Each structure stands twice: as structure tokens, then as C-alpha cells.
Structure 1
Amino acid sequence: MKIINNGAFYINDTVIEKGTNAKETLEKICGKYVNEEVAKKNTISYSILASHNQSNNMENLKIKFDSLTSHDLTYVGIIQTAKASGLEKFPLPYILTSCHNSLCAVGGTINEDDHIFGLSAVQKYGGIYVPPNFAVIHQYMREMVAGCGMMILGSDSHTRYGALGTMAIGEGGGELAKQLLNKTYDMKYPEIIAIHLTGKPRLGVGPQDVALSIIKEVFANGFVKNKVMEFIGSGIKNLSVEYRNGIDVMTTETTCLSSIWETDEIVEEYLATHFRKKDYKELKPNGIRYYDGVVEVDLSEIKPSIALPFHPSNVYTIEEFNMNMKDILHQTAIDCAKQLDTNIDISFENKIRDGKFYVDQAVIAGCSGGTYENICDATDIFTSKQLLDSTINFSIYPSSIPTYLTLVENGIAAKLLKNGVVLKQAFCGPCFGAGDTPANNEFSIRHTTRNFPNREGSKLREKQISYVGLMDARSIAATVLNGGALTAATDIDVIYTKPIYYFDRSAYDKKVKDFYEKGDKEKELILGPNIKDWPEMPELSEHILMKVASIITDDVTTTDELIPSGETSSYRSNPVRLADFALSRKDPNYVPKAKEVQKLEDLRKQSRIQEENSLTIVYEKIKNILGDEDIDINKINIASTIYTVKPGDGSAREQAASVQRVLGGVANISKAYATKRYRSNLINWGMIPFIADFEKDNIPFEVDDFIFIPNLKSKMNNNEENIPAFVINNNSLKEIQLKLQNLTNNEKEIINAGSLINYYKE
């Protein structure tokens, strides 16, 4: 694999690096030269973005999408936000799937109450409702919605349908609420990175192997962060659509903005199989294209791989791992302990027996793993010879009812069941810690999307820990077949039968409720007792007094660490109750400290803050900073803040920001933000995304210190980037510098109003 980071032209499956006699080479190949600005417009990405842009300015995009999609972890909050902001009807197709909290085991009725709410919402506003256990969100969108040239916005980070010619973006719920209110998705025109595929994968190498290899190459260096990955090249024709989908959905783990692929007759056949041939068009622009960077991928060189805890980029080939497992596992244990900052003993040595690494559990599930082709290939491997005695638990979750039905009709399901594999419903649980949680200290191999800490469902605060290695379905089957000893699928002699897939949508026709453009505004939303409105959020004051409630110095802080997934997410429709879990896995002191600050803010709103003796010295110093003894201290908002190095990797869930706001937060202070979507979530909840260039061992404040920012509102509205602030404690006063970067006028207005809800109310 090779990275070209200084731009390149592309023509006739040939990449020509910028600055390497590109002009002469292009003239030799095609008889002409086209400059970068013109060639940029020949990309697939440019044509799709241009056709959806409302601004007539391709540098500053204002996008309207063709459809929206959300699952039951997010759709209640989104609809409640939009309703509070004036929603009257869904102006575009909005698909609600019930695939994240469908076990209905946590908190009594609350999960099913949300499903009933979703059904009542589509009846009222005119949407489409997919009931529990029928399809995981992205499989339904592939089967029924995504098509060539479209743009789709989803409130799940793995919203990726690029292989079907759809540029899809996963964002926080606030951005979907904007679309429901006929507003636009605003962003700068992104850089476009070509993923140039050549060659053909060897037998046994699956889409997860390709995806993990790409993630390993581009995650740590941020090469595609907030950019569009455009898949091109002669290697594409060697991949089925489901294989492409399996690579595509994992592009989220690179931190890219979106993805798009060239389309061909294989895509046309896929859409025709799903009775949607009309949604096909060839996306393969002619002419010279220019890309801001290129990743060269020779598919024939990819080997079966495993991503070790705790990130999809911690990738080794299985061959490399088996040759050096003791050294690799020793370093992995050190890295895990450092990342978790725990006194729990982390060791993998007991997994090594007779020179082999043995796993305890295997799962194939979700939008990345539970597809028809993955399951069929895994079945061929798993039934290719006599199964060794093994206590390993092996579960497979087909990604939709149509997928499951075809597996039943062609006999695949029977083969699996007879061999002790458990087939389960279409459910995203194993991807985020709500299904198949391993036992303490067990190691699970999974064809799912993530292996972040606690993502498999263990609870570190209760001294539980287990581990996930991400692998392709084929090598998972080979490993289970081999008694749990880590095995590459390429080491198994097998004939792949490739049984024909027939899409039968009869279950959808009977159970999916389509009320698009047929909503009844008189219909009442059905609110279970756990579904609560958003609490009041104050508008921004001219001066801000913040108290530091948490400092996290990890290199990256994931969304799951900001607000845990798994069973905690069942409380997502009750903002106040959910907020009690904020940072619970990372900093259990955060919530009580944030609530202490909320009590101060309550006193301020009652004009009683002078009763708080602990603030006497703080206010004396504020008056000195402002040079105003008569300043009305009751007009200065008091709020909490957190410091993190790089927050927001992973899920798109806006709750990672909203829980901080519900607890009285007003800002994050960070060196950088891991994803655009997390930064957008902060802004949509009225929180300020400060940038600060502090080193880990030289952070100029501590937990419980106050930070006073004079004239913040005026400085922000005047587009000042450098924001002086003052750290105050009982012993000292020192000035620091914070930064505000690239805030649009609309974003500033949302922050001024205190939240997206307040902004649209006004």
C-alpha cells in the first residue's frame, strides 16, 4: 500500500503524481493537459456535491439531502429537537429503524416505548418505520433506498453507501433536525482522496481484511480526516457489491467525512435484484481527474488480518501475529493498560497454549459482518471439514429479514444450526455492547465495526474487562473450525459455493410502515414515561465563568468514553437521566462536579450568587480583570467545561455533547477534534469548541479551577480567533490563550442562542 500526499492526476487507471512531469505524462497519455482546478471537477465527488449544493458557491457548500435515516438510539431525540424547533412534517423521506435497542431488557418498557414513539412520529409527520428485528439500519438503506448519485444523511457514524453510488454522511442528530426544518448542511468543500484499487483479492481474503489494512495506513496520520474517499480503479470490477459494501462501511473508522465509488454493471445488477434498476446510473466520469491525495491498494497483496484492542487501526496480519504473538500481545497489554488508566491486570498470556493463540467467542454481525455473502463464505469454511472439539460460542446475526430468509431457503441456515452456530435477529447490539458480552477476561473475535474499550459490553468500574479483535467473517469461521486457535481463512482448503441470492421483500411489504407524504398532523405522538423534553438551556452571556470538571489526557477520547453505549443508551430519550452516565467509564467524578457547578448557576439565575462565599475571591479577581467594581455578577453565566486532547472519535451520537450541556456545560477545550461530527454536535447544543495548544504535562489549570473569559460573546461575534482567558484559583491568577477557529455565522448564532432548539425557536 502506498500513500501519495501531494496530489495526483488520474486517467485510464493511471495515477500521475503532481510535480513528476505530470503535464508531459498527461499529454503523452491523452494528448492534452488539464490544470488542477478543472480536473477536480471531473471527480465523482464534485458532481454529486454540486448537484446537491444550494449555495451556488462550491467553496462553501449548503447541502440538502435526498433522504435521512436514524435508528432507535437517536430518532426520539432528533424528532423531539425538531418538534421543539417548529417541525410540521418530514420534508423528505426519513427512515426510522429499530435495530439498536430492540432487546427490550433494560429499564422495563423504555425501549419498546421508543419504538411506539417512532411509529407514531412517522404517522404524524410522514416517514417510514422499520420495526425491531427486521433490519439493521444500513442494510435496509442498501436494500431499499440508496442509489446512484444520491446523498443520504444518517445519525449513525457508519452511514456509508458509497459502493451503491450514494455519498452518505453520518452526523449528530442536530444536523438531521436541520434537514427536517428545511435547513442545509453547511461545510467547506472537502478534499477528495482517491483510493485506487488494483488487482484481485486472493481466496479467503474478505472485505474486512481490505478495510482494516486501509484503516491501519491512514488513521494515525489523519490522512483522510474529514475528507471524501473516492474509490476508483480496475480492481473494483473484481469485487461484488456486498464485498464493496463491507469495505465501504468501515471507512468511518478512518475518520473520513464520506465515501463514493465508481459504479458499473455489477451495481446495476444488484439494484435490479432489489427491484430498483431505475436507481442505477454509471458513475465513471470521463476525462482527467485530480485528487488531493491517493492511497494505492493492490488487492492481491492484502492478507487476512486482525485488529487488536482497542482500536480498528491496531492491525496485524494473522500471519505476522502468529509468528510474533508474545511480543505483540505484551505490547498490546501495555498499550491497553495505558489507555484505560486502570489497576486491573491486563494480560493475554493465558490465551497462548502450545504456541497458538486461542479465542473464547466469535460473532459475525451488523452492517459490516452480517451480510449474505459473508455468511455464505463463512459457512463453506466452517463446514469444510470436521469441527474440532471447542467450547467457543459462535453467533451470527443476519443483517435483515430478506438476508435471513434466503439463508433459510438455500439451506445455509440449516448447516449452521446443525453445527452449533446460533443464528440471531437483525440487531446492532454486538457492535456497541448490547449483545453477546463476553465473560470477564475473555477474548472475542468479531466481524463488526469497532473494538473500542468496553464496546463489547464489559464495565470497567465494576472490575470487568474483556477484549475484541476485529476480523473478517472468513477467518473467524476458520478460527472456530480450528478449535478457537487463531487461523487465517487462506490456510483452509475450501470450495466457495456462492449460492445465488434472491431478494424477497414480502416481510417489508407486510410490516414496514410507509407514511411518506401521508402524515396526519392530528396524530398524537405517543410518549412513554421515560421520554422527556429537553431541559432549558441558557443563551450565552457576554462574559463566561467556567469551572473545570474533568481533564482527560488520553491521545484520543472516543464518543463511547464521553457517553457509554450498550445498556446505558436505553435511557437516551430521557436527557436528564442519561446525563448521569456522562464520562462514567472515564471519569466518575465528572457528573458530581458538573452538578456542583449547576447549583452555582441556579443561584446566579435567582440573583443569589453573592450568597456563595466560596466565590468571593473569584469575583474579586473578575472585577479586577474587567476594571469594573460595579459589574453585575448575576449576569455572568456559570458553567462547567472539560479538557480533552482529541475528543469525538467513533460514534455520531449527539448525546456525547448533549449530556454535557444538560449538566450545565458550555465548552470543550481541546488540542483538536477527532471528527467534524463531534464538533458539530457541540455547536448544535450551544457549546463552544475551544482549541488550546497545551502539552499533556503542562496544562495550565486543574480540575476545580475557574476559567474566566471576558467579552467572549463580542469577540466571537467580531470573528476574533484568539480569545484571552484567565485561570482563577484561591492562590493565583494567570492568563491563557484559547482559540476559536472557522465558526460560521450560523454556528455563532446557535452558540449565542444557547442551542439549536433555542435558535430555531427565535
Structure 2
Amino acid sequence: MKLFETGVYLLNGSEIVADGSQADAILAASCGRKIDREEARKQTIAYGILRDHNCSDNMEQLKIKFDKMTSHDITYVGIIQTARASGLEKFPIPYVLTNCHNSLCAVGGTINEDDHMFGLSAARKYGGIYVPPHQAVIHQFAREMLAEAGKMILGSDSHTRYGALGTMAMGEGGPELVKQLLGRTYDIDMPQVVGVYMTGKPAKGVGPQDIALAIIGKVFACGYVKNKVMEFVGPGLANLSVDYRIGIDVMTTETTCLSSIWATDEKTEEFYEIHGRKDAYRKLAPGQIAYYDGMIEIDLSQIKPMIAMPFHPSYTYTIEEVNHNLEDILEQVTKRAQVSLGDRISYSLKDKIRDGRLYVDQGIIAGCAGGGYENITDAADILRGADIGADEFSLSVYPASMPVYMQLIKNGSAASLIEAGAVFKTAFCGPCFGAGDTPANNGFSIRHSTRNFPNREGSKIQDGQISSVALMDARSIAATAANKGLLTAATDIDADFTKPKYFFDRSIYQKRVFDAVGKADPEAELTFGPNIKDWPKMSPLPENLILKLVSEIHDPVTTTDELIPSGETSSYRSNPLKLAEFALSRRDPAYVGRAKEVQKAQKAIEADSCPGKAFAEVHEIMQAIKEKFPEINRHVIGIGSTIFAVKPGDGSAREQAASCQKVLGGWANIANEYATKRYRSNLINWGMIPFTIPAGDLPFKNLDYIFVPGVREAIKEGKSRVEAYAVHEGHLTPFSLYVDAMTDDERQIILDGCLINYYRAHR
């Protein structure tokens, strides 16, 4: 795999010319004319789709309107509640509400099913589509029923990726979907486009997760595609089925790219025809000469079965490497784990070594990445006639939708897996976010799913539990299962891959899915369970801010799972106050108590009383500030909390990573950089300032106060540098905070205090 250090031109979809001193001559010789780089930029597939969906008067600052949207049962209640508070009357575009996350109604009594009934009533009232639990995971339903070549879909899940079907899709926090529901736009600068040029054909036994992990391992750490669009092209595409392409595409989220798009061909057309939607197909290909801001060149034939070791999808090795260097690699895993776990818990996988081989306790093939038809049929072919044994090792298989499940039953693949000892389960995302198949303490699970962050498998470090996940392809998981839990690459198994044809049964959805698109019933009542609560009142940004740093995190990357855990907490996503109690609970259990103490001072200000009486230590801070700023009093300040993290926001798109901080009185984050565009957007949409500070020694430490004078005026004027002071032991130490460019609307959202306030004030 090669990463080009410069931009490249792609000629006729088949010849790469690196930008540089020789490029003009090569292009002129090939085309007979001089090529303008800016014109060539317009020849990418991505540019054409963005142009077609842009509502602004230029292509540098985009204002995008999407064709369709999709959410699941962890996110849609908050989205609809926010939109309802902001004036929602009906869904202006098709909006699908799936139920694949809080599908198990075993936590918190009725509250998960209460959310489902809210979703059904909202689809009836506002004119949406409701997919009942266990019918399909969010992204499989979108592939089967929503995607269209050349169109754009916005989803409130980070793995909203349908590029393999010619659909540019983006996963964002809920407030971005609210904007679309209220007729507003998705505002971004024109993203750079990075080509992914594929040649060759994957070796037998190498699956889409292997290709995806190889890419992630190459590009994540260096940020090669961060906030960019990945465009898949090249002759190697013809050697990949659409199911295979989908398996690669969904994992592009783990590169931190903004979105993805693939060239389409007759195989794409066949996919749409199989699903009864042939009209959704369009031929998409780059122009004769297209310019890419970077290029990843991959020879598919050189990719070997991969494994992403705990605790990140970018910690990749070939399975062959792990088996040959087991002790050394497990030592590296332990050292990496200590960065996040510290001394809170003892962690090592070395006890998994048996007779010089790595023993695995559990295998899972599931979700939007692993639950596809071809992944499961290939796994069935590997396990046909084998058995997984009666020791600790277990294998669970979750088809991504009921139509996939039905076909696996009809062609015998399900029977082959069950005969081998696997357990078949319904469409459910639980194994992906810690709500299903949690291994035993110290257990080690291999999964064809999307993420392997700490606690994504469901263990709780704060309770002294630890288990871990490695990501692998379904084929190598099946090979490991056939070897009764000893780590095995699929290329080491002599399997006959039968590739049974897929037949899609649309009637399964016709019988169960509620579709009211274009048939909104404004008289219908929303169904509220007792756990569904409105957002609390949020104040506008004050003239000056006093912030207490209540959590300081120096991990290289902080995930949204650490900011607000998944798993059982997902059942409280419809209850902002209850959910906020879990904020940073697995990373910094003291955070919630500290934030709530500081919040007492802000609540006192809002009640026009003395903040120092509500929270005594604020009195001393105010006195120190007044020595330099005598005009400061409770009528011109806001008091709240902030956190520092080196690089927060990797992983899930969940808005609650930001909103929980806001509910607890957070006014800002301070970071060296933000891991994703979507997390920074979530902060802004919840009225929190995304401050940055250069890497190096910090001018403050945990539990210090930070005074930011004139912050409202600075945000209003769009200043990139903001004056601040660290307040420590009665002294003020000046330093600078920075704010990267924001749109006019984003600045106004922060000034108003949050997106809800913004819409109330400006609708």
C-alpha cells in the first residue's frame, strides 16, 4: 500500500500521475492540451455529488441539503425532541427510524420499548418510516431500501456509509439532523478528496475487513484522510462484489474521513435490481482527468488476513505476524492499554497463550460491518462439517437484516453454522457498542464489527472488570472457530467458497415496516414513556466566562465512548439529566460531581443570587479576578466547567458526548486538536466553545479556574485568538486560547447557548 505525498491526477480512471514538475508535460502529452488543476478537481465523483446538493452560491463554503436521513433508537428521540422544541411540523424528506441499538428491553424496565413507541408515533405524526426491532440494523436497511447512486444521506450514527452504492453518506450528531428537519443546511468548507486506487484481486480467504483494517492501520495515525472524502476507483473494483465493497466502505469511518464514494458499475446496478430498485442506479466515474488531493494505492492481492488488537481499529497486524511474534505483540498491547487504563486495573493477554498459540474466548460476526450476506455464507462454508468445541470458545452470528436471515435459512448456510455450534441471533448492533455478548472478565473476543475501544464489549473498568476485543474478518473468525479458538487466518483453511446467489424478499419489510412518507398526520399524538424528558433550559453565552477545569486527559486520543459510555447507558439517551450522570464515568468518575458543584454557581447567577454563597470557592476566584478586572460582577459572568483532552471525539457520532457536558454546566472544551469534525460540531450545536491550545506544557492544571474576559464579543467577532487567564492561588497567569473558523450560524448558536435556543430566537 502506498500513500502519495502530493496530490495526483488520475487519467481515464487507470493512470496515476503525481503532481509535480513533470505532471504538466505528462498530462499534455497524454491529452494534447494543458490541464488546469482546479478544473481537474471538479472531475471527481465527490465534487459532482456535492455540487448537486449545494445550496450556496459557491463551492468553497458548502450548504448541503440531503435527500434522506436515518437514525436509530439511541438517537432519534433526542433529535425529534430537539426539532419539536424548535418548531418541527413534519419531516421534509424521508426519515427512517430504525430500532437496532436499544432492541433488548432488559435494562430499566419499559424504557427501551417506550422509546420505540415514541418512534412509531413520531413516524405517524411527522410522516416517517419506522422499522421495528430485530428487522434490520440501521445501515443494512439503508443499503437495501434508501441508497441511490448520486444521492446524499445523513445519519445520526458514525458508520453512515453507503459509498459502495454510489451514495455519499455522512454520520453526524443529532443536531445536524435537526437542521435538516427544520429546512436548514449542513454547512462545511469544500472537503479535500483522496483517491483510493485499487488494483489486483484479493487472495482466497481474504475478506473486506482485512482490506479495511489494512487501510485504517496505514492512514489513521498520520491523519491522511481526516475530514476528507475517500473516493474508491481503479481496476481492482471490478474484482470485488458489492457486498465486499460495502464491508470495506463501512469501516472508512475508522479512518476519520468525512465520507466516502465509489465508482459504480454493472455489479452496482445488479445490486439495485436484486433489491427491486433498478431506477436507483446511476453510472458514476471520475472524469477523463481528475485531480485528487492525495492517493492511496492498494494492490488487493498483497493484503493478508488482518487483526486489529485492543484497543483501537488502527492497531493492526497481519494474523501471521501475531502468530509468529506473539509474546512481543502482546507486550505492545499491554503497554498501549496502560495509556488508557493506567493503574486502575491489571491487564494482559499473555494468559491466552496455549502451546505457543493465541487462544480466543469468543467470536462474533455482527452488525453493519460483519452481518452481510457474503460474510456469513463464506463463514458457513469454512465451518461446514466442523465444530467449535465445548470449551470456553463460543460463536454468535447476527445477520444484518431479516431478508438476509431468511436467505441464509433457505440456502442452508444458517444450518451449517448452527450444526458447527454457532448461535444465530437477530439483527442487533449490541456487540458493537457493549450491549450484547460481553465476554467474561479477562475474556478476549474476536469480532467482525466496527470498533474495539475499551468497554465497547461491555465490561466496566470502574467496577474492576476488563475484557477486550480484536477486530477480524468473518472468514478468519470462522477459521479460528474451526480450530476451536486458536487464532487462525482464513488463508490457512482449505475451504470451498460456494458463493450462493442472493435473493431479496421485500415482502418481509412490507409486512412489518410502517411507512408514512408524504402522509404526515398532525393530529396524531406522540407517545411518551416516563423516561422521555425535555432538554433543560440552557443560558446564552455570557459576556465573560469563569471555567473550572474538572477533568484533564492526556491520552493520545479520547473517544466519545469515554466521554459518555455506551452499553447500558444507551437506555437513558432519552433522558438528558439521567444520562448526564454517566458522563466520563469510565474515564474520570470524579467528573460528574465536580461539574455539578461548579454548576451550583451558575444556577445561582441565573436566579440572580450570589454564586459565592452557592459554591464557596468561587468567592475567592472572583476576588482574584476583580483585582485586575474590577468591573466583573455576577451580572456579566457565567460560571461553568470545562475539560482538557489532547484529541477528543474519535469514534461514535453521538451528540451526547457533548450534550451531557452541557447539561452538567459545561461551557467549553479545550484540546490540542479535535479528532473528528462531527464531535466539534456537536460541541458547537450544544453551545460549547471548541477551544484549542498548542501542544506542550499547559498554563493550567486540573481543578484550576480559567477566566476568559470578553468571550462573547470574541465569538461574535469571529476572533481566532482569545485572551484567557489561569487563576491559581490568587494569581492570574495570561495565556491564549484559539478557536478555529466557524460559520456565522455556528457563532450565533454558541452566542444563543445551543441549537434549540438558536431556532427559538431565529425561526
Q: Is the CA contact (8 Å cut-off) linking 1:384 and 1:494 kept in structure 2?
A: no
Tell me, what secondary structure is at the counterpart of 2:547? strand
Aligned residues of 1:605 and 1:634 also touching (Cα < 8 A): no
Asked if structure 2 preserves the Cα contact closer than 8 Å seen for 1:669 and 1:689, the reply is: yes
The equivalent of 1:232 in structure 2 is 233
The equivalent residue for 1:607 is 608
Instruction: Give the CA deviation at 1:388.
Output: 5.6
Conserved 8 A contact 2:388-2:422: no
Paired residue for 1:2?
2
List per-residue Cα deviations over 1:336-358 (Å, max 9, x = no partner). Answer: 12222233221111111111111
Counterpart CA distance in 2 for 1:419 and 1:616 is 68
Residues 524-565 of structure 1 show CA distances to partners (whole Å, capped at 9, x for unaligned) of 110000000000000011111111111111111000000000
Give the aligned residue type for 2:705.
F
Match of 2:395 in 1: 394
Alignment of 1:60-99 (within 5 A): 60-99=61-100
Q: Distance in 2 between matches of 1:319 and 1:606?
A: 64
One-letter amino acid of the structure 2 residue matched with residue 223 of structure 1: Y
Q: Is the 8 A contact 2:309 2:316 kept in 1?
A: yes
Residue in 1 that maps onto 2:211: 210
Structure 1 contact 193–293 (Cα < 8 Å) conserved:
yes
Deviates more, 1:618-627 or 1:149-158: 618-627
Q: What CA distance in whole angstroms lies between the structure 1 residues aligned with 2:611 and 2:166?
A: 61
Residues 574-608 of structure 1: CA distance to partner in whole angstroms, max 9, x if unpaired?
00000000000000000000000111112222222
Secondary structure of 2:458's partner?
A: coil
Give, as a single letter, the amino acid of the residue that structure 2 aligns with 1:733: L
**Which residue number in structure 2 is paired with residue 447 of structure 1?**
448
Q: 1:20/1:489 Cα in 2 relative to 1: closer, same or farther (>3 Å)?
A: farther
Report what 1:748 is aligned to.
Answer: 747
Deviations 1:60-99 (A, max 9, x none): 0000000000000100000000000000000000000000
Kindly report which structure 2 residues correspond to 1:281-296, keeping only aligned pairs within 5 A, or say none.
281-296=282-297
Q: Which of the numbers 623, 627, 648 marks the counterpart of 1:624?
A: 627
Structure 1 residue aligned with 2:375: 374
Deviates further, 108-117 or 9-18: 9-18
Report the alpha carbon displacement of residue 34 of structure 1 after superposing the two structures with TM.
1.4
Structure 2 match to 1:718: 717
> 1 CA distance for matches of 2:32 and 2:560?
50
In 2, Cα distance between the equivalents of 1:398 and 1:9? 40
Sort the Cα spacing of 1:287 and 1:732 in 2 relative to 1 into closer, same or farther, 3 A.
Answer: same
Partner Cα distance (1:99, 1:616) in 2: 49
The aligned residue for residue 682 of structure 1 is 683
Say if 2:389 and 2:421, in contact at 8 Å, map to a contact too.
Answer: no
Q: For the residues of structure 1 that align with 2:115 and 2:642, how far apart are their CA atoms? A: 31
Task: Kindly indicate whether residue 104 of structure 2 is the aligned counterpart of residue 107 of structure 1.
Answer: no
* Alignment RMSD (CA, Å): 1.1
In structure 2, the partner of 1:728 is: 727
Name the aligned partner's letter for residue 702 of structure 2: V
Q: Quick one: distance in 2 between partners of 1:54 and 1:534?
A: 31
Distance, in Å, in 2 between the alignment partners of 1:283 and 1:617 is: 64
Indicate the SS of the match to 1:25: helix
Matched residues in 1 for 2:244 and 2:41: separation? Answer: 28
The 3 A distance-change label for structure 1 pair 610 and 518 is closer
| Residues 290-349 of structure 1 deviation map (CA, whole Å, 9 limit, x = unaligned) | 000000010000000100000000000011111101001011111112222233221111
Q: CA deviation at 1:610?
A: 5.7
Match of 1:132 in 2: 133
1:716, distance to aligned residue in structure 2 (A): 1.7
Between the aligned partners of 1:719 and 1:333, the Cα distance in structure 2 is: 44
* Distance in 2 (alpha carbons) for counterparts of 1:720 and 1:281: 44
Aligned length: 758
The residue that corresponds to 2:356 in the other structure is: 355
Structure 2 CA distance for aligned equivalents of residues 51 and 610 of structure 1:
52
Residue 573 of structure 2 corresponds to residue 572 of structure 1: yes
* TM-aligned CA deviation for residue 633 of structure 1: 2.1
The TM-score normalised by the length of structure 1 is 0.98
Offset from partner CA, 1:41-64 (integer Å, 9 cap, x none): 000000000000000210000000
2:708 maps to what in 1?
709
Question: What is the match of residue 669 of structure 2?
Answer: 668
Give 1:31-70 correspondences, 5 Å limit.
31-70=32-71
Change (3 A) 1:56 1:384: farther
Counterpart Cα distance in 2 of 1:748 and 1:223: 28
| CA–CA separation in structure 2 for the residues paired with 1:20 and 1:351 | 54
Provide Cα deviations, 1:129-183, integer angstroms capped at 9, x if missing partner: 0000000000000000101000000000000000000000000000000000000
Contact kept, 8 Å, 2:53 with 2:66, in 1: the verdict is yes
Whether the 8 Å CA contact 1:5–1:292 is kept in 2: the answer is no
Segments of 4+ in structure 1 off by > 4 A? Answer: 384-390
Q: Aligned partners of 1:86, 1:22: CA distance in 2, in Å?
A: 54
- Please say which of residues 151-160 and 633-642 is displaced more in the overlay: 633-642
Change (3 A) 1:356 1:24: same
> Structure 1 CA distance, aligned partners of 2:619 and 2:532?
40
Unpaired segments of 5 or more residues in structure 2?
A: none
The 1:345/1:188 distance shift into structure 2, 3 A limit, reads same
User: What residue number does 2:308 align with?
Assistant: 307
Aligned equivalents of 1:126, 1:175: Cα separation in 2: 19
CA distance in 2, matches of 1:142, 1:386: 33
Partners of 2:385 and 2:290 in 1: how far apart? 46
Pairwise mapping of residues 318-717 of structure 1 onto structure 2 (< 5 A)? 318-383=319-384, 385=386, 390-609=391-610, 611-612=612-613, 613-628=616-631, 631-695=632-696, 698-717=697-716
Cα 1:180–1:610, aligned 2, differ >3 Å: closer, same or farther? closer
In structure 1, the gaps of 5 or more residues are none
Residue 23 of structure 1, CA deviation: 1.7
Alpha carbons of structure 1 residues 716 and 386: separation in structure 2 relative to 1, 3 Å: closer
Rounded Cα–Cα distance in structure 2 between residues aligned with 1:425 and 1:386: 22
Identify the range of structure 1 (634-643 vs 96-105) with the bigger mean alpha-carbon deviation. Answer: 634-643
Once residues 729 and 63 of structure 1 are traced to their aligned partners in structure 2, the CA distance between those partners, rounded to angstroms, is 45
Contact 1:563 1:584 in 2 (8 A): yes
Partners of 1:471 and 1:610 in 2: CA distance: 53
What is the alpha-carbon distance in structure 1 between the residues aligned to residue 124 and residue 618 of structure 2?
Answer: 52
Distance in 1 (CA, whole Å) between partners of 2:251 and 2:706 is 40
**Residues 1:311 and 1:98: Cα distance change in structure 2 (over 3 Å):** same
The corresponding residue for 1:177 is 178
**1:129-278 to 2 correspondence within 5 Å?**
129-278=130-279
Decide whether aligned partners of structure 1 residues 387 and 706 sit closer, same or farther in structure 2, where only a CA change above 3 A counts: closer
Aligned to 2:23: 22
Give the TM-score normalised by structure 2: 0.98
The letter of the residue matching 2:584 is L
CA contact (8 A) 1:617 1:730 kept: no
Q: SS in structure 1 opposite 2:550?
A: strand
Deviation at 1:386, TM superposition (A): 6.1
Residues 68 and 152 in structure 2, CA contact (< 8 A), matched pair in contact too: yes
Secondary structure, counterpart of 1:547 in structure 2: strand
Distance (whole Å) between structure 2 residues aligned to residue 751 and residue 661 of structure 1: 12
Moved more, 24-33 or 180-189: 24-33
CA distance in 1, matches of 2:284, 2:703: 55
SS in 1 for 2:297: strand
Conserved 8 A contact 2:625-2:732: no
Contact 2:45 2:231 in 1 (8 A): yes
| Matching residue's letter, 2:263 | E
Q: Distance in 2 between matches of 1:583 and 1:393?
A: 32
Q: Is the 8 A contact 1:227 1:258 kept in 2?
A: yes
For residues 621-659 of structure 1, give each alpha carbon's deviation from its aligned partner in whole angstroms, at most 9, with x where no partner exists.
Answer: 32233243xx43233111111111110000000000000
